Structure 1
Amino acid sequence: MSDADLMSRLLEAAKPHVPFDGWSETTLRLAAQDADIAPGLVAAICPRGAVDLALAYHAEGDAAMLKRLEETDLSAMRFRDRIAFAVRARLEAVEDRELVRRGTTLFSLPNHAADGAKAIWQTCDHIWTALGDTSDDVNWYTKRATLSGVYGATVLYWLGDDSEGNVRTWEFLDRRIEDVMQIEKLKARARENRVVSGLMAGPLAFLGRVRAPQARQQTGMPGRWTGPN
């Protein structure tokens, strides 16, 4: 059995325990017992323990979102509506809100905060890539950073939303996207203003050397720098 199959079995066995014990070592141990997976195999697929299990759950949700995006015709939607649809699809992939709530608690701990931020970044990267983003400069980062802020805020709102069909969450999401659109309009006006664009010439030239990550050039940190010719 492959590592992916083992993780899937372990994850399914863990889900009933998470609302009571969180994404904890207790949940990991009980899930291993329920799935009849030997401790050595559990250690192999979850070398960092329960946090690896929580990250696998997050990745499972991303995969479900991507599948829905692939199966949906988005061509008639405005681009902002495609982004909203993707975020909504990601949240609707969650079968039990308590699993996300417990994950939020885990990733709020200082020793796991970086893992949580990386998971959100990866979700937003998946969204932009699925929607056809081809940026190869600093915009690659700003798009994902901005969407990470929108997505993170929407998740927190959604966790406390008891409205029918989560209608208040979708309204909140629309407002956050509208805020981003207003920022983009402000940036466009700044570029058209000769005075402002002149003042920003130096910083923009600096940022113009930033490039998106390239798999064959990765050395442990995202992105790359193009030096002067």
Structure 2
Amino acid sequence: MLNATMPFVAQSGWTMHSLMQGAKSLGYPSVAHGMFPGGESGLIDAHLAYQRDVFVQAVQEKKAELDLLPMNERVKVLTLLRLDMNKPYIHKWPEALAIMGRPSNVAMSLKHLGDIADDIWYYAGDRSPDMNWYTKRASLAAVYSAADVFMTQDLSPNYTETERFLTSRLDQAAWIGSSTRQLGTMLTFGAKSLVSVLANRGGRF
């Protein structure tokens, strides 16, 4: 059902119409959209969960290449890989961000953002059990959410400006050497950045 619906998302956005068209394309009655609890938000939730599986498969295919890179470069490559997965729907992605910014959906949005940041660090090779684990993921989540929004407005060929923006933000993050005393500051920064981004996008649609 998700695979059948996504082509309609590229045309009609993250809407009940897309869900109903996806159901009809499979020969199901239009009421079959009810298999996505929450309607549009349920569709986004299922899409992000599916993207997580696709991301893991893509990482496995790039493992040999990633193993040759230093940690910070691996983080960048994996973050770009995850952002690239939005390209087929990038012109409709602001609508998804708006839906994710609704108060009832923020918890779902934060969970997926946390999963994305954790996956990137994990597959980059970070297994640190110390307090920096939280700092790195909170700061990467803030960087990712900013790049995610930037990409929706990027008109450069092959989104080269998004890559430049991401590189600059990652350089500023200074992952290595963060002290545990910075943890509270970084977590607060990450949470406020995400909520601000989602709220701003939500107010435009």
TM-score, normalisation: structure 1: 0.69
Structure 2: gaps spanning 5 or more residues: 184-205
- Name the aligned partner's letter for residue 157 of structure 1: F
CA root-mean-square deviation:
2.6
Q: 1:186-225 counterparts in 2 under 5 A? A: 187=178
The corresponding residue for 1:156 is: 149
Matched residue count: 180
Task: Give distance in 1, aligned partners of 2:29 and 2:129.
Answer: 45
Q: Is residue 96 of structure 1 aligned with residue 89 of structure 2?
A: yes
Residue 112 of structure 1 deviates from its aligned partner by 1.3
Q: Percent identity?
A: 26
Tell me if structure 2 keeps the 8 A contact 1:64–1:90.
no
- Name the aligned partner's letter for residue 67 of structure 1: Q
Task: Give distance in 2, aligned partners of 1:129 and 1:160.
Answer: 29
The corresponding residue for 1:70 is: 60
Cα gap change, 1:179/1:160 in structure 2, threshold over 3 Å: closer, same or farther?
same
Q: Which has the larger radius of gyration?
A: 1
Q: Is residue 27 of structure 1 aligned with residue 27 of structure 2?
A: no
Structure 1: gaps spanning 5 or more residues: 1-9, 192-199, 205-229
Deviation per CA, 1:17-64: give whole Å up to 9, x if none.
324543233322222122223567653x42333312111212222222
Q: 1:1-229 counterparts in 2 under 5 A? A: 10-19=1-10, 21-37=12-28, 42-43=33-34, 45-72=35-62, 73-94=65-86, 95-181=88-174, 184-185=176-177, 187=178
The corresponding residue for 1:225 is: none
TM-score, normalisation: structure 2: 0.76
Tell me if structure 1 keeps the 8 A contact 2:9–2:89.
no
Tell me: higher relative CO, structure 1 or 2? Use CA pairs within 8 A at least 6 residues apart: 2
Task: Give distance in 2, aligned partners of 1:156 and 1:26.
Answer: 24
Residue 178 of structure 1 deviates from its aligned partner by 0.6
Residue 92 of structure 1 deviates from its aligned partner by 1.7
The corresponding residue for 1:207 is: none
